[in-house]
Amino acid sequence: MKTSRKVVLVGAGFVGMSMAYSLLNQGGVDELVLIDVNKDKTMGEEMDLSHGLPYAPHKMRIKAGSYKECKDANIVVITAGLAQKPGQSRLELAVENAKIMKDITENVMNNGFDGIFIIATNPVDLMTYVVAEVSGMPKSRVIGSGTVLDTARLRQLIAEYLEVSSKNVHAYILGEHGDSSLVPWEHCYVGCKKIIDIMKDNNHPMEDLKKIHDGVWQAAYEIIEKKKATYYGIGMALNRLIKAVLNDENAILTVSAYQNNEYGQEGIYIGVPAIINKNGVKDILKLNLNEKDQELFDHSCEIMKQNIKNGIDNVINLKK
């Protein structure tokens, strides 16, 4: 029986360490194990984080470790992977990172892991698929960060536009964590009022909603242009996912979840609102999408299917 709240992080880069730092600041984890191919960096990160423990809200054990630590872990978070190179296509990046995901997953599973996987490596929907197929875990126990960050960006931009608290904005990004994502505006609320009604009642141009959505998917490009990478936002998002699992919250988060015909799609992972608890994805919330939104969602799913067919399945030795 697992008596401690243990998280293993595979990947000590910017994203992984942003998550680790947020865990240190917020608490809620008893043990955090860091794994990376760069052993010296992992040990340095362990030392640096540990020096903050006297000022942390809760006691936490932090250590640089190996895959043996996965045996009694509640959660394994994977952030390791390559960044997209100039001139490299998205599929080429996906194939290279799929090879890394396969290797990591095999190492984790060979050491007796029986918890929840959380994946953040990009392209995250495809990498989550790889981990699920290679691990053989129940699909509900493999979760991608999906559109949790996109959703956070959306809520923040809506909050700024309407001058309300982002905590009272209930809006969601669905689909790929990428350019083909969509916002089902009919299902977006501020407090208990539909955002579409708020726009009409206050004479706000409806086209501003599209500008807000454009701002979401353009945000990553702008941040990368200005500071080379994005990591604080996703680090906080991963922290939120970890807590939803460890605290058995039944929290609704837009994760990359396995599709079993909830939205007319099957056999892939993609961003949808899901209930997250100690067992992973408890259930997927089915929204009644209008015809246009369903077409956009289907298009996003088709991109995933084509990438799986054109390279990902070859990496994981699945011939479908």
* Domains of the chain, first to last: 6-144 (3.40.50.720), 148-312 (3.90.110.10)
Active-site residue flag, 58:
no
Strand partners, 75: 7, 116
Three-state secondary structure call for residue 190: strand
Residue-level pLDDT at 320: 41
Name the active-site residue from 58, 177, 213, 299: 177
The dihedral sign for the CA sequence 282, 287, 292, 295: positive
Q: Which residues of the chain have pLDDT under 70?
A: 1-3, 318-320
Residue-level pLDDT at 2: 54
Q: Which amino acid is at 28?
A: G
Residue-level pLDDT at 217: 86
**261-293 per-residue burial string, b: 16 or more CB within 10 A, e: under 16:** ebbebeebbbbbbbbbbeebbeebeebebeeeb
Task: Dump the DSSP string for 52-115.
Answer: TGGGSSS--EEEE--GGGGGG-SEEEE---PPPPTT--HHHHHHHHHHHHHHHHHHHHTTT--S
Residue-level pLDDT at 90: 72
